[in-house]
Protein backbone atom coordinates (compact mmCIF):
# COMPACT_ATOMS: atom_id res chain seq x y z
CA UNK A 1 0.00 0.00 0.00
CA UNK A 2 1.21 3.52 -0.78
CA UNK A 3 0.32 7.15 -0.26
CA UNK A 4 0.83 8.94 -3.59
CA UNK A 5 1.32 12.71 -3.69
CA UNK A 6 0.97 14.55 -7.00
CA UNK A 7 3.46 17.37 -6.59
CA UNK A 8 2.83 20.80 -8.13
CA UNK A 9 3.77 24.44 -7.62
CA UNK A 10 7.01 25.86 -6.29
CA UNK A 11 9.09 24.96 -3.27
CA UNK A 12 6.62 26.17 -0.63
CA UNK A 13 3.64 24.40 -2.16
CA UNK A 14 5.59 21.20 -2.76
CA UNK A 15 6.63 21.25 0.91
CA UNK A 16 2.99 21.45 2.03
CA UNK A 17 2.12 18.50 -0.20
CA UNK A 18 5.12 16.48 0.91
CA UNK A 19 4.50 17.15 4.61
CA UNK A 20 0.83 16.17 4.33
CA UNK A 21 1.65 12.99 2.44
CA UNK A 22 4.40 12.12 4.90
CA UNK A 23 2.01 12.59 7.83
CA UNK A 24 -0.58 10.28 6.28
CA UNK A 25 1.97 7.60 5.35
CA UNK A 26 3.50 7.76 8.84
CA UNK A 27 0.11 7.23 10.49
CA UNK A 28 -0.57 4.14 8.37
CA UNK A 29 3.00 2.86 8.20
CA UNK A 30 2.89 2.82 4.40
CA UNK A 31 5.26 3.96 1.66
CA UNK A 32 5.24 7.58 0.47
CA UNK A 33 5.43 8.01 -3.32
CA UNK A 34 6.02 11.43 -4.90
CA UNK A 35 4.68 11.76 -8.45
CA UNK A 36 6.37 14.51 -10.51
CA UNK A 37 4.10 14.15 -13.58
CA UNK A 38 2.62 17.64 -13.11
CA UNK A 39 6.01 19.37 -12.89
CA UNK A 40 8.31 20.59 -15.67
CA UNK A 41 11.83 19.11 -15.86
CA UNK A 42 13.34 22.57 -15.30
CA UNK A 43 12.22 26.09 -14.37
CA UNK A 44 9.90 27.56 -16.99
CA UNK A 45 8.91 31.23 -17.35
CA UNK A 46 5.66 31.76 -19.23
CA UNK A 47 4.53 35.34 -19.55
CA UNK A 48 6.44 36.31 -16.42
CA UNK A 49 4.88 33.52 -14.34
CA UNK A 50 7.23 30.74 -13.29
CA UNK A 51 6.75 26.99 -13.04
CA UNK A 52 9.26 24.99 -11.02
CA UNK A 53 10.62 21.45 -11.23
CA UNK A 54 10.72 18.99 -8.34
CA UNK A 55 12.23 20.52 -5.18
CA UNK A 56 11.89 17.79 -2.54
CA UNK A 57 15.22 16.13 -3.36
CA UNK A 58 16.92 19.24 -1.91
CA UNK A 59 16.55 17.82 1.61
CA UNK A 60 16.55 14.53 3.53
CA UNK A 61 13.06 13.44 2.51
CA UNK A 62 11.39 10.07 3.12
CA UNK A 63 9.68 9.52 -0.24
CA UNK A 64 10.22 7.61 -3.48
CA UNK A 65 9.91 9.48 -6.78
CA UNK A 66 7.96 8.38 -9.83
CA UNK A 67 6.84 10.20 -12.97
CA UNK A 68 3.56 8.63 -14.09
CA UNK A 69 3.59 10.69 -17.31
CA UNK A 70 7.15 9.79 -18.32
CA UNK A 71 9.26 12.15 -20.42
CA UNK A 72 6.68 12.81 -23.14
CA UNK A 73 5.56 16.47 -23.18
CA UNK A 74 2.21 15.40 -24.67
CA UNK A 75 1.58 12.98 -21.81
CA UNK A 76 2.60 15.71 -19.35
CA UNK A 77 -0.05 18.04 -20.79
CA UNK A 78 -2.69 15.32 -20.57
CA UNK A 79 -1.74 14.59 -16.96
CA UNK A 80 -1.93 18.26 -16.02
CA UNK A 81 -5.32 18.68 -17.71
CA UNK A 82 -6.71 15.57 -16.08
CA UNK A 83 -5.43 16.52 -12.62
CA UNK A 84 -7.00 19.98 -12.92
CA UNK A 85 -10.37 18.48 -13.85
CA UNK A 86 -10.14 16.07 -10.93
CA UNK A 87 -9.47 18.91 -8.48
CA UNK A 88 -12.43 20.86 -9.84
CA UNK A 89 -14.56 17.72 -9.50
CA UNK A 90 -13.24 17.32 -5.98
CA UNK A 91 -14.74 20.65 -5.00
CA UNK A 92 -18.18 19.63 -6.26
CA UNK A 93 -18.20 15.85 -5.62
CA UNK A 94 -15.67 15.62 -2.82
CA UNK A 95 -17.22 12.73 -0.88
CA UNK A 96 -17.39 10.52 -3.95
CA UNK A 97 -13.66 10.85 -4.63
CA UNK A 98 -12.83 10.54 -0.95
CA UNK A 99 -14.57 7.17 -0.91
CA UNK A 100 -12.10 6.05 -3.57
CA UNK A 101 -9.14 7.13 -1.43
CA UNK A 102 -8.56 10.30 -3.47
CA UNK A 103 -8.16 13.69 -1.78
CA UNK A 104 -8.66 16.18 -4.62
CA UNK A 105 -9.31 19.84 -3.75
CA UNK A 106 -8.65 23.06 -5.62
CA UNK A 107 -9.89 25.70 -3.20
CA UNK A 108 -11.22 24.53 0.16
CA UNK A 109 -9.42 22.47 2.77
CA UNK A 110 -10.92 19.64 4.85
CA UNK A 111 -8.35 18.35 7.30
CA UNK A 112 -10.83 16.11 9.11
CA UNK A 113 -11.68 14.31 5.87
CA UNK A 114 -7.99 14.05 4.98
CA UNK A 115 -7.31 12.31 8.28
CA UNK A 116 -9.85 9.62 7.36
CA UNK A 117 -8.06 8.63 4.16
CA UNK A 118 -7.09 4.93 3.97
CA UNK A 119 -3.59 3.51 3.83
CA UNK A 120 -3.75 3.42 0.01
CA UNK A 121 -4.49 7.01 -0.95
CA UNK A 122 -3.71 9.62 -3.59
CA UNK A 123 -3.38 13.35 -2.84
CA UNK A 124 -4.14 15.88 -5.58
CA UNK A 125 -4.35 19.12 -3.61
CA UNK A 126 -2.17 21.96 -2.38
CA UNK A 127 -2.91 20.91 1.25
CA UNK A 128 -2.04 24.46 2.35
CA UNK A 129 -2.54 24.09 6.09
CA UNK A 130 -0.18 23.13 8.88
CA UNK A 131 -3.01 21.14 10.43
CA UNK A 132 -2.52 18.36 7.88
CA UNK A 133 0.80 17.46 9.47
CA UNK A 134 0.58 18.95 12.98
CA UNK A 135 1.31 15.56 14.58
CA UNK A 136 4.66 15.26 12.76
CA UNK A 137 5.71 18.93 12.74
CA UNK A 138 9.00 18.34 14.54
CA UNK A 139 10.03 15.57 12.14
CA UNK A 140 9.08 17.64 9.09
CA UNK A 141 11.12 20.56 10.40
CA UNK A 142 14.10 18.26 10.96
CA UNK A 143 13.90 16.77 7.48
CA UNK A 144 13.47 20.04 5.60
CA UNK A 145 16.30 21.71 7.54
CA UNK A 146 18.66 18.88 6.58
CA UNK A 147 19.88 20.39 3.29
CA UNK A 148 21.24 17.86 0.83
CA UNK A 149 24.80 18.60 -0.30
CA UNK A 150 24.88 22.15 1.11
CA UNK A 151 26.99 24.68 -0.78
CA UNK A 152 29.93 26.46 0.80
CA UNK A 153 28.04 29.75 0.34
CA UNK A 154 25.11 28.38 2.36
CA UNK A 155 27.28 27.07 5.19
CA UNK A 156 29.19 30.35 5.47
CA UNK A 157 26.07 32.53 5.31
CA UNK A 158 24.28 30.33 7.85
CA UNK A 159 27.16 30.77 10.29
CA UNK A 160 27.08 34.55 9.79
CA UNK A 161 23.33 34.62 10.28
CA UNK A 162 23.59 32.61 13.49
CA UNK A 163 26.05 35.20 14.77
CA UNK A 164 24.06 38.27 13.68
CA UNK A 165 20.53 36.98 14.52
CA UNK A 166 18.93 39.60 12.25
CA UNK A 167 15.34 40.45 11.46
CA UNK A 168 14.79 38.87 8.04
CA UNK A 169 12.62 40.60 5.46
CA UNK A 170 11.16 38.47 2.68
CA UNK A 171 9.94 40.33 -0.42
CA UNK A 172 8.29 38.17 -3.09
CA UNK A 173 8.76 40.38 -6.10
CA UNK A 174 9.53 38.98 -9.56
CA UNK A 175 6.60 36.78 -10.62
CA UNK A 176 4.18 38.42 -8.15
CA UNK A 177 4.31 41.59 -10.25
CA UNK A 178 2.58 39.59 -12.98
CA UNK A 179 0.07 38.07 -10.56
CA UNK A 180 -1.11 41.33 -9.00
CA UNK A 181 -4.78 40.46 -9.49
CA UNK A 182 -4.27 37.45 -7.23
CA UNK A 183 -1.76 38.64 -4.64
CA UNK A 184 -1.92 42.44 -4.79
CA UNK A 185 0.97 44.75 -3.96
CA UNK A 186 2.79 45.08 -0.65
CA UNK A 187 4.86 48.23 -0.13
CA UNK A 188 7.51 49.62 2.16
CA UNK A 189 4.99 50.85 4.76
CA UNK A 190 4.01 47.28 5.62
CA UNK A 191 7.64 46.20 6.04
CA UNK A 192 8.47 49.26 8.13
CA UNK A 193 5.60 48.56 10.54
CA UNK A 194 6.39 44.85 10.60
CA UNK A 195 10.00 45.58 11.59
CA UNK A 196 8.81 47.95 14.33
CA UNK A 197 6.40 45.32 15.69
CA UNK A 198 9.05 42.58 15.67
CA UNK A 199 11.58 44.89 17.37
CA UNK A 200 9.06 45.43 20.16
CA UNK A 201 9.21 41.69 20.83
CA UNK A 202 12.92 40.89 20.38
CA UNK A 203 14.66 44.25 20.37
CA UNK A 204 16.49 46.12 17.62
CA UNK A 205 18.35 43.87 15.18
CA UNK A 206 20.11 44.33 11.84
CA UNK A 207 17.87 43.90 8.78
CA UNK A 208 18.67 41.26 6.18
CA UNK A 209 16.72 41.22 2.91
CA UNK A 210 15.71 38.04 1.07
CA UNK A 211 14.00 38.31 -2.29
CA UNK A 212 13.67 36.66 -5.69
CA UNK A 213 14.62 40.09 -7.09
CA UNK A 214 17.13 41.66 -4.67
CA UNK A 215 17.63 44.81 -6.76
CA UNK A 216 13.92 45.48 -7.21
CA UNK A 217 13.15 44.76 -3.56
CA UNK A 218 15.99 47.03 -2.38
CA UNK A 219 14.60 49.86 -4.48
CA UNK A 220 11.09 49.33 -3.07
CA UNK A 221 12.38 49.36 0.52
CA UNK A 222 14.01 52.79 0.32
CA UNK A 223 13.93 54.38 3.75
CA UNK A 224 14.71 51.15 5.58
CA UNK A 225 18.35 50.61 6.56
CA UNK A 226 19.25 47.23 5.14
CA UNK A 227 22.40 45.77 6.66
CA UNK A 228 22.65 42.92 4.17
CA UNK A 229 20.98 41.88 0.92
CA UNK A 230 21.11 38.14 0.33
CA UNK A 231 21.87 37.38 -3.31
CA UNK A 232 22.52 33.65 -3.65
CA UNK A 233 24.86 32.35 -6.35
CA UNK A 234 23.33 30.37 -9.19
CA UNK A 235 24.74 27.17 -7.69
CA UNK A 236 22.64 27.57 -4.53
CA UNK A 237 19.27 25.84 -4.22
CA UNK A 238 15.96 27.53 -3.36
CA UNK A 239 15.86 25.44 -0.20
CA UNK A 240 19.15 26.91 1.01
CA UNK A 241 17.69 30.40 0.69
CA UNK A 242 14.55 29.30 2.53
CA UNK A 243 16.48 27.72 5.42
CA UNK A 244 18.59 30.86 5.73
CA UNK A 245 15.47 33.04 5.83
CA UNK A 246 14.22 30.79 8.63
CA UNK A 247 17.38 31.61 10.58
CA UNK A 248 16.16 35.11 11.37
CA UNK A 249 15.40 36.04 14.95
CA UNK A 250 12.20 37.51 13.50
CA UNK A 251 10.68 37.46 10.03
CA UNK A 252 8.70 40.13 8.19
CA UNK A 253 6.96 37.84 5.73
CA UNK A 254 5.49 38.18 2.28
CA UNK A 255 2.13 36.63 1.38
CA UNK A 256 3.99 33.58 0.13
CA UNK A 257 4.28 29.92 1.05
CA UNK A 258 8.06 30.45 0.89
CA UNK A 259 7.72 32.87 3.83
CA UNK A 260 5.41 30.43 5.59
CA UNK A 261 7.96 27.64 5.55
CA UNK A 262 10.78 29.89 6.68
CA UNK A 263 8.66 30.96 9.66
CA UNK A 264 7.75 27.33 10.36
CA UNK A 265 11.40 26.28 10.44
CA UNK A 266 12.39 29.27 12.58
CA UNK A 267 9.85 28.85 15.40
CA UNK A 268 10.70 32.30 16.85
CA UNK A 269 8.91 33.73 19.91
CA UNK A 270 5.35 35.04 19.64
CA UNK A 271 5.26 38.44 17.98
CA UNK A 272 8.39 37.81 15.92
CA UNK A 273 6.62 36.56 12.78
CA UNK A 274 4.46 39.02 10.84
CA UNK A 275 2.37 38.42 7.71
CA UNK A 276 0.40 40.95 5.66
CA UNK A 277 -3.37 41.22 5.87
CA UNK A 278 -5.16 40.42 3.63
CA UNK A 279 -3.05 37.67 2.12
CA UNK A 280 -4.70 38.04 -1.27
CA UNK A 281 -5.74 41.00 -3.38
CA UNK A 282 -9.19 42.50 -2.94
CA UNK A 283 -11.44 40.49 -5.21
CA UNK A 284 -8.91 37.63 -5.29
CA UNK A 285 -9.18 34.20 -3.64
CA UNK A 286 -10.95 33.75 -0.33
CA UNK A 287 -8.72 34.30 2.70
CA UNK A 288 -7.51 30.97 4.10
CA UNK A 289 -8.76 30.45 7.65
CA UNK A 290 -6.20 27.99 8.96
CA UNK A 291 -3.06 28.88 7.02
CA UNK A 292 -1.22 30.91 9.66
CA UNK A 293 -0.16 29.41 12.96
CA UNK A 294 -1.81 30.89 16.08
CA UNK A 295 1.37 32.55 17.38
CA UNK A 296 1.96 34.50 14.14
CA UNK A 297 0.47 37.94 13.67
CA UNK A 298 -0.88 39.93 10.75
CA UNK A 299 -0.63 43.61 9.96
CA UNK A 300 -2.63 45.52 7.37
CA UNK A 301 -0.78 46.20 4.13
CA UNK A 302 -1.39 49.95 4.22
pLDDT (tens digit per residue) in 116-142: 999 999 999 999 999 999 999 999 999
Local structure of residue 178 (DSSP, 8 states): G
In this structure, the answer to whether residues 81 and 127 fall within a common structural domain is yes
**Domain finish residue from 96, 122, 140:** 140
Q: What 3-state class would DSSP assign to 136?
A: helix
For the chain, the average pLDDT equals: 91
Q: Which of 269, 264, 252 is nearest to 172 (CA)?
A: 252
In this structure, the answer to whether residues 207 and 233 fall within a common structural domain is yes
| Predicted TM-score (pTM) of this structure | 0.94
Q: What is the band of 48 on the pLDDT scale with cuts at 50, 70, 90? A: low
Q: What is the band of 79 on the pLDDT scale with cuts at 50, 70, 90? A: confident
The boundaries of the domain holding residue 289 are 149-300
What's the pLDDT at 47? 64
In this structure, the answer to whether residues 134 and 154 fall within a common structural domain is no
What's the pLDDT at 206? 97
In this structure, the answer to whether residues 104 and 168 fall within a common structural domain is no
Beta bridge partners of 125: 105
Cα separation, 90 vs 85, whole angstroms: 8
Put residue 223 in one of left, alpha, beta given phi > 0 → left and psi -120 to 50 → alpha. left
Put residue 287 in one of left, alpha, beta given phi > 0 → left and psi -120 to 50 → alpha. beta
In this structure, the answer to whether residues 79 and 208 fall within a common structural domain is no
In this structure, the answer to whether residues 154 and 16 fall within a common structural domain is no
Sequence-separated (6 or more) residues with CB below 8 Å from residue 51: 39, 40, 43, 44
pLDDT (tens digit per residue) in 139-196: 999 999 999 999 999 999 999 999 999 999 999 887 777 777 878 889 999 999 999 9
Amino acid sequence: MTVIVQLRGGLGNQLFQYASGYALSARHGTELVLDTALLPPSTVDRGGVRRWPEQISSFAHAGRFIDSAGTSSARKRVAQSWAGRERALGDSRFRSLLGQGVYARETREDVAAFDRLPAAARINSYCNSWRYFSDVSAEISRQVSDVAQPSEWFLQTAAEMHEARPIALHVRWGDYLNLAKVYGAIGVDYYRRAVDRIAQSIGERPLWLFSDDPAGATSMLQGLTLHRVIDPPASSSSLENLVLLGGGAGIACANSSFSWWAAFLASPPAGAVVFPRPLFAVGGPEEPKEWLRPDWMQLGRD
